[in-house]
Amino acid sequence: MPLDIAVYMALKGNNPGGYSAFVKVRGTEVMTHVTHREAKTTFEIRDGKPYFKFKTAFELNLEEKINNDLNIQDPSVIRDIEESQTKGATKLIESFLEKTQALGSDVLGLGEYVRAKAPDYWNRNVRTKERWQRMYKEIEYEIQIDMKIRRIGMKAE
């Protein structure tokens, strides 16, 4: 549940970040801390249904490493950490969206977004909150994440 709160805040772009995570990389782990995040949600009507794109960007600090053999001055190591964290974040976001869809609970307010941006579609196909709750269970989406390590903390060096 606490991770669901982090995902919700990330998808809304709420700052400051504030969450730390252990990230597996090259057979060991490092700790990162999200310092800033941005989010943009867009949608289009695709095959007669709303299709959403969630774009999120995270700025991270590399706080700590466990294995002294890991060279965090190597740009390829930093890229591997960013990729690993991106995969983990994608799984968390997918899980969060699947849970809300199973419950028919549009906590992100996507229905309001559709109603405001495509009122003709809403009036023709949705019309009511109850119908949107049913439709929400079937929406399709894609997730795009940009993860950037900006600072390396003293503990990590």
User: Does residue 157 have a pLDDT over 50?
Assistant: no
pLDDT digits (tens, 9 = 90+) for 29-39: 999 999 999 99
Q: What is the mean pLDDT of the chain?
A: 93
Q: Say what the pTM is.
A: 0.90
Tokens at residue 106, please? 């549009």
Tokens at residue 129, please? 């909150």
CATH class of 2-152: alpha beta
Q: What does the pLDDT average to over 122-145?
A: 96
Q: What does the pLDDT average to over 70-75?
A: 91
Percentage with pLDDT > 70 across the chain: 97
Could you tell me what percentage of the chain is helix, strand and coil, using 3-state DSSP and rounding each to the nearest 5? 40, 35, 25
